[in-house]
Structure 1
Amino acid sequence: MVESSKFEAQGFLAPDGTEMVIVPRKDWDAVCSLAERAVAKIEEEAMNIPDDVEQHLNLGLNPVAAWRRHAGLTQAVLADKVGITQAAIARIESGPTGTGRDDTLTRIAKVLGAPLAHINPPAKTPAERIRKAIDNSADAKTERLFQPASSRR
């Protein structure tokens, strides 16, 4: 492991007053390597999935359903704890992984004690990003898209 005292650095203030640091490439590469290993370790620890959850996932269940079953909760109980409807939980569980509003999925992960990255992985493709944008424009309680106000004629 590289100790910070071994790094060579020069500092200066940018015109806007921001403190800047210049480090040799070898030190930058070492810092990046340490950061990448730390992130990999955190992700690995966060993704330790209980055997029964893994079995449910192998059967094709959505992660929310798998973790809910692991926690021994019904859809109705989970919905009550999260503050949404049972129908919204059913829609989330019947959709692809990550279906639902980000704030809703964060609350679900917390209630279930599941890693957020497992319940709501980051969108990787343009289609996933569009789906997430639509999900995040839905009503938090019902998971239904907001309807524009109808104009009176």
Structure 2
Amino acid sequence: MNAHTDPQIITQNGKPLFVVIPWNEYQELIHKQIAPDESDVWFPNEVVKSNVRGDNLIKAWREYFKLTQAELATKAGMKQSALARLESNSASPRKATLIKLAKAMEISVEQLID
């Protein structure tokens, strides 16, 4: 079935709430999505404020998630002292390290890069 079908709009209190579209049209929409780029990376206000104050993004995110250095280091499979060094503004972490930290905090690597 290739015929275009109008979407069904479900409203509540006179405002659109859901749209039901045919499965094939949904699949087309999904496959036409472009890959995320830098403009798709989001930061909570608290992380931005911390970064503006001078904290690097690793520390800003760790504090946003209310993790101690020891907790994040354990989740990322590293030593607390290594994480402390990475949180200094002079550190240049390797991509593999950023990937570990991003996974541990369940964020994207792009969210750890200035």
Which TM-score bucket, shorter chain as reference?
Answer: 0.5 to 0.7
Is 1:51 aligned with 2:37?
no
**Cα distance between partner residues in 1 of 2:48 and 2:113:** 16
* One of 95, 99, 112 as aligned partner of 1:102: 95
58 and 95 in structure 1: CA distance in 2 versus 1, 3 angstrom threshold: closer
For 2:21, the equivalent position in structure 1 comes to none
TM-score (norm 2): 0.63
Larger radius of gyration: 1
Q: What residue identity is the alignment partner of 2:64? A: H
Q: CA deviation at 1:117?
A: 1.9
Is 1:73 aligned with 2:67?
yes
Structure 2: gaps spanning 5 or more residues: 1-33
**Cα distance between partner residues in 2 of 1:120 and 1:42:** 13
Structure with the greater relative contact order (CA < 8 A, sep ≥ 6): 1 or 2? Answer: 2
8 Å CA contact retained: 1:67, 1:114: no
More strand by share: 2
- In the alignment of these two chains, the number of paired residues is 83
TM-score (norm 1): 0.48
**Cα distance between partner residues in 1 of 2:69 and 2:60:** 11
Output the aligned Cα RMSD.
2.3
Structure 1, residues 35-61: CA drift from partner, whole Å, max 9, x if none?
A: xxx45x53222x210011011011010
8 Å CA contact retained: 2:73, 2:79: yes
